[in-house]
């Protein structure tokens, strides 16, 4: 699906840098596994975030907004709480599980459990590190427009 080793490219601050990977996720439910085509996307424009578009039987993909840091940590140990948790498989060393709460729900019936090959996720995450190295995300976020907007807002306008 994706190469194991990304090229040795120096990181650059550019919105043109985009990384995508097409994956086959599997929705896990009692007694069955259903394949779901998906696409991961990462950009220097939003350096903390990985977008997961899953192409279910709807006309438009369902997009999940995930933390790159959460996904990276989840390849090594169970991590996350609330709406998203990620953890490696115990019996299958090349499985990574994503548990996603649907519509803000936390009950077992309101979650989707997805399985992806851990090697594919790790390769994708390595590619993202060539776009924005971990720990340097703040260098790629332009907060000046947000600060100007906050300072220009008049609380009386609300």
What's the structural domain count of the chain?
1
pTM, rounded to two decimals: 0.75
Q: Is residue 81 part of a domain?
A: yes
Residue among 89, 87, 84, 88 nearest 106 (CA): 84
Q: Which two tokens stand for residue 82?
A: 């609330």
Q: Is residue 102 part of a domain?
A: yes
pLDDT tens track for 108-134: 557 889 999 999 999 999 999 999 999
pLDDT tens track for 60-80: 878 889 999 999 999 999 999
Report, as an integer, the average pLDDT of 88-103.
85
Helix (H, G, I), strand (E, B) or coil at 102: coil
Q: In this structure, are residues 128 and 50 in contact, taking their beta carbons and an 8 Å threshold? A: yes
101: CATH: 2.30.31.20
Q: Measure the CA dihedral 136/140/141/144, to 10°.
A: 120
Q: Is residue 36 part of a domain?
A: yes
Helix (H, G, I), strand (E, B) or coil at 38: strand
119 Ramachandran zone, left/alpha/beta (phi>0; psi -120 to 50): alpha
């Amino acid at each position: 699906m994706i190469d194991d080793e990304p090229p040795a490219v120096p990181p650059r601050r550019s919105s043109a840098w985009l990384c995508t990977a097409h994956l086959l996720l599997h929705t896990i439910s009692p007694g069955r596994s259903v394949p779901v085509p998906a696409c991961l996307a990462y950009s220097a424009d939003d350096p903390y975030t990985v977008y997961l578009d899953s192409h279910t039987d709807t006309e438009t993909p369902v997009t999940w907004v995930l933390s790159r840091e959460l996904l990276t940590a989840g390849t090594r140990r169970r991590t996350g709480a609330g709406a998203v948790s990620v953890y490696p498989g115990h019996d299958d060393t090349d499985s990574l599980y994503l548990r996603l709460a649907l519509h803000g729900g936390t009950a077992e019936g309101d979650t989707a459990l997805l399985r992806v090959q851990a090697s594919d996720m790790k390769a994708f995450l390595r590619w993202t590190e060539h776009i924005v190295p971990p720990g340097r995300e703040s260098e790629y976020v332009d907060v000046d427009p947000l600060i100007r907007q906050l300072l220009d807002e008049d609380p009386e306008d609300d």
